[in-house]
Structure 1
Amino acid sequence: MTGKMRPPRGRRPSAWTTRQWLRAGVAASLAVLTVLGMTGAWVLGRTAAISSELVDRRFPAMSTAFRLESALLNQESGIRGYGLTGTPEFLEPYRRGLTDQHTYTAQLTELLDADTRARDDLRRVQDALSTWQERIARPVAASPPGAPPPLTAERAAEAETAFDAVRQAVADQQERLRAERARTRADLAATMRLRNWLFAAIAAVIVLLAGLVFEGLRRGINRPLEQLAADARTVAAGDFGHPITSAGPADLRRLSGEIDFMRRRLLRELAVSEEARRRLDAQTADLQRSNAELEQFAYVASHDLQEPLRKVSSFTQLLQRRYGGQLDAKADQYIGIAVDGANRMQTLINDLLDFSRVGRVHHDPVEVDLEAVMERTLSVLSIGIEEAGASITHDPLPSLVADPTQMGMLWQNLIGNAVKFRRPDRAPEIRVGVAREGELWRFTVTDNGIGIDPEYADKVFVIFQRLHTKDVYPGSGIGLAMCKKIVEFHGGTISVDPEYRDGARISFTLAPEAPPAPSTIAEATRATPEPAP
């Protein structure tokens, strides 16, 4: 019946916990990803270096070499024109070419600083250019203007040969720069291909790792958890004899074992609780029957007490009317005490009946207009209010779903107490306030009467608890206890405001919706017929 855990079939279960498996998997994945990341970083760095060399050195060096060639051609054109004409304007391109030559030579020297062969090419260009300038350009430029310098004709062949050497050196330089640029481009293309293949491999490895991790989690964790959940649902559905399967890492197997231990313990406890429930059902049925009989007895006893009380009250009043003044003063006093006691006993029994009905005998909840209830209450209490000279004001009262009879009893007791417990030296002033407080309505009944000491703030809501003798303030001591019972039946609370000192302030809340349905015991007692008075 209790069952045992089924050991997993096949290979021996691992002693590793879920955390250990996760740590090992994460460590292996991080190691692989670290190697791939370092390789990818190297390839990216290599690609960036080659791109930088191509953009920052090779292309600018080629462009500067072309500009240097243009500057040299300007020098040669200017010297040749001046040598043929002697016109000074031809020296302007020469001088501008000299300035550009120094600028571009400096730029090339900086760009080719790390390339020894390229610096050698630049040096050969400079050497050939120096020979041409020393033998041809400077002597011709130094000749006086006006007539063609005679040196031009004397060194015409040498000038052509010297500048051809310059052109050749420049051509060799440019050819080497083109070759280096093409080589760098080839390196960049090869590195980019390597980068693309490497990142494709990294993506494939990441997908493979993700698949391995997913499959490992599915087999090692998800599948055992699904099996555990399925077994738990079977047990929760009522099959407490179904064993819990143990599978997966060590901690999941321990969890399965603990759940299975709990299942076995619940199975034992259920056997005990089932027996206790059967006994409790029997006791509950006896208690319901006893409560119904007690309430029936209370009603019968209360109504049976009414008849002798009515007789006692009637005959004592008859004695008072017929023989009052014919006997001595002592007899008249005794007759008055008997009449008063019988009347008070009858009032007390009626109040007790009303108190017992609250929460037990109730009408169907309906929409109750508290304004109308207040008007009826003031009409019922009109004689006492007029005799006391009381002033009663109230805020606009809401409508709520409640028992209309109990709402009338609530307002009648609260307003009646405020009028009754007044100061002898001032007329009662009663104020009823209302405000919304969350889901409830908060009501306050404030008067300027004798007040309630804070030490008695809870005592006044206990049945038969009086703070004054009946000779000073008449009553049965049930009114506020009945108010408390009505308010709590309608989902609220009631209390005395201890901070208010100019009289008494009763504060209570009422729910805007109907009170909850009566309990099983209340329904059972409600079904008992109430004898007619």
Structure 2
Amino acid sequence: MKIKSRLAFATGLVAAAAAVLIVLTLLVTQDLSVVVDDHRKIWEASQSVARLQAVGYDYLISGDEQALRQWRARQAELLSLLALLWQSAEADSALVERLLADAGEIEARLNAFVSDSSDLAPLSRERADRVQLHFRDLQTALAQLGRNLSELDQSNAERVLSLKQRLLMVALVGLLLTALAVGIATLWLTRTVLQPIARLTAAIDDIDIYDLEQRIGLDRDDEVGHLARAFDRLLSRLRRTNASRDHMEAEASRRAHAERELKRSNEELEQFASVASHDLQEPLRTITSFLQLFMRRYGDGLDETATEYLNFAIGGARRMKLLIDDLLTFSRVGTRAQAFESVDLNEVVAQVQADLANRLTETDAQIEVANLPRLLADRSQMAQLFSNLILNAIRYRSAAAPLIRITAKRIGPDEPVADATAAVLGPQTQGPAWVISVADNGIGIEPQYFERIFIIFQRLHTRSEYPGTGIGLAVCQRIVERHGGHIWVESEPGHGSVFSFDLPVY
């Protein structure tokens, strides 16, 4: 038998004993409640008899019609209580019938007096004699009714005592039965469940961690046996795993070494890019300066073709300087970054707008900024990120004046951050995050270029169409990834673009 079945059987045994106790207790309690309610009705009937006696005497003496009406009301009240007692299953029906007969006798005597005295003057001698006669009869009938009520009350009290004794007996027997059921269930579970589990625990404790050839060998058909066999299988798997443990540790060591080498190589590459970009600045400035000096001194003596060639050389040198500057900026994202601090993005965007005021005025660009969050970030890199995205929207504007909208939305850990049409670059942000979106009304982007635009030096247009070096969005991607997020674009040609990036909430 399974342990679950044993537990269910033991629980059912205890529950059955408890249910029997509860049912018997409820039955006795119900009878006791009826008897107690009968006692209350008997007491109310006694009070009604007392009030009936007072009103009856008042009517016999005064003959007042109001007293007669009060008498009949009290009589009806008494009959109603006696009728309820007669309906009770616990009341003595014979006594209740006698009480009903007594009440009927009292009503008959009063009606007889009313009939005999209706033609007599209230203060006549003859009426007084009849009052005295009926008064004794009424007093006798009321006394008999009171004695019968007392007898019924005594019978009811004896019934209450009997039911209390029965309730106590039921409670004691029920508790004994419940205790017996609990004891039997505990003993049975101890022998069939707890003792095998104790043997299994002792066998597991005796196993040597380095001797994986051992077996528990507990042959049972219940869960304990299944657990013992599962533990034996686990030991077998551990033995097989132990054979490859050294190899796995060596592989992990080699992988850790490779990761350290990769990190060092990346740092050296970033350092090299920074140094190379800086060292290339000086000879490039020299070339540009001497070409410009040559143009000023000897430009008048050159023909149109020579002048054009020199202008090409000067323009190429200037573009080279822009490329070197952007490459230096790209390398500094990881090498000269600042520590994270609490940054209000509203302040960052406001500062970027102030820095780009002339450019915004020249292009009639409008920027609408929603309420942005406060995050842990590198303030200067956040400014560079927004500046690049705004300049990108201005550069690739359509015929209409640029309209740029910056919004923010908080998402939970299980919500997707991009539509199926968006190119998701980098890992998904884990945990809650803010998604910042920069939308424009520019020329838009073909879907097949969504990933390409984030690659360094990749351009979708010629320099004559749209100026630039092709590094700005790559810098944006690197900044976002340094902050633990990723950046993507959603766009349709001719309908503008939406650049979005998510930043985790720390």
How high is the TM-score relative to the length of structure 1? 0.59
Partner residue in 2 for 1:205: 177
State the 1:256 CA deviation: 3.5
Q: Is the 8 A contact 2:455 2:474 kept in 1?
A: yes
Deviation string, structure 1 residues 435-487 (Cα, Å, up to 9, x no partner): 66675444343444333345544443333332211221121212112212212
Q: Is the 8 A contact 2:14 2:182 kept in 1?
A: no
Q: Distance in 2 between matches of 1:37 and 1:382?
A: 85
Q: Distance in 2 between matches of 1:317 and 1:480?
A: 31
Partner residue in 2 for 1:476: 469
Among 341, 357, 369, the alignment partner of 1:366 is 341
The change in CA–CA distance for 1:231 and 1:492 in structure 2 (over 3 A counts) is farther
Deviation string, structure 1 residues 151-179 (Cα, Å, up to 9, x no partner): xxxxxxxxxxxxxxxxxxx9xxx99xx99
Q: How does 1:328-347 map to 2 (within 5 A)?
A: 328-347=303-322
Among 15, 22, 44, the alignment partner of 2:7 is 22
Deviation string, structure 1 residues 186-212 (Cα, Å, up to 9, x no partner): 788667645532332112211332344
Deviation string, structure 1 residues 491-518 (Cα, Å, up to 9, x no partner): 44433344896533333343464xxxxx
Matched, 1:404 2:385: no
Unpaired segments of 5 or more residues in structure 1? 1-15, 78-86, 96-169, 514-533
Q: Is the 8 A contact 2:291 2:314 kept in 1?
A: no
Q: Distance in 2 between matches of 1:309 and 1:70?
A: 131
Partner residue in 2 for 1:282: 254
Q: Which structure has the larger Rg? A: 1
Partner residue in 2 for 1:118: none
Q: Is the 8 A contact 1:54 1:181 kept in 2?
A: no
Among 94, 97, 102, the alignment partner of 1:61 is 97
SS in 2 for 1:450: coil
State the 1:213 CA deviation: 3.2
Q: Distance in 1 between matches of 2:4 and 2:373?
A: 62
Q: Distance in 2 between matches of 1:288 and 1:18?
A: 53
Q: Which amino acid is the alignment partner of residue 383 of structure 2?
A: G
The change in CA–CA distance for 1:367 and 1:19 in structure 2 (over 3 A counts) is closer
Q: Which amino acid is the alignment partner of residue 382 of structure 2?
A: M
SS in 1 for 2:397: coil
Matched, 1:505 2:505: no
Q: How does 1:70-469 map to 2 (within 5 A)?
A: 193-194=165-166, 196-214=168-186, 216-217=188-189, 220-221=192-193, 250-266=222-238, 268-293=240-265, 295-297=267-269, 299-300=271-272, 303-304=275-276, 307=279, 310-311=282-283, 314-315=286-287, 318-319=290-291, 321-322=293-294, 324=299, 326-359=301-334, 361-370=336-345, 373-374=348-349, 376-378=351-353, 380-382=355-357, 384-392=359-367, 394-395=369-370, 399-423=374-398, 425-434=399-408, 440-469=433-462
Q: Distance in 2 between matches of 1:389 and 1:40?
A: 90
Q: Distance in 2 between matches of 1:234 and 1:364?
A: 54
Q: Is the 8 A contact 2:446 2:493 kept in 1?
A: no
Q: Is the 8 A contact 1:54 1:185 kept in 2?
A: no
Q: Distance in 1 between matches of 2:167 and 2:439?
A: 87
Deviation string, structure 1 residues 264-298 (Cα, Å, up to 9, x no partner): 42453255244312222123214422441354256
State the 1:359 CA deviation: 4.4
SS in 2 for 1:55: coil
The change in CA–CA distance for 1:216 and 1:477 in structure 2 (over 3 A counts) is farther
Q: Distance in 1 between matches of 2:283 and 2:132?
A: 149
Q: Distance in 1 between matches of 2:380 and 2:323?
A: 19
State the 1:60 CA deviation: 1.0
Q: Which amino acid is the alignment partner of residue 10 of structure 2?
A: G
Alignment root-mean-square deviation, CA: 5.4
Q: Distance in 2 between matches of 1:253 and 1:493?
A: 52
Q: Report sequence identity in percent.
A: 29
SS in 2 for 1:474: coil
Q: Distance in 1 between matches of 2:463 and 2:243?
A: 59
Question: What is the number of residues matched between the two proteins?
Answer: 418
Greater relative CO (CA pairs within 8 A, separation 6+): 1
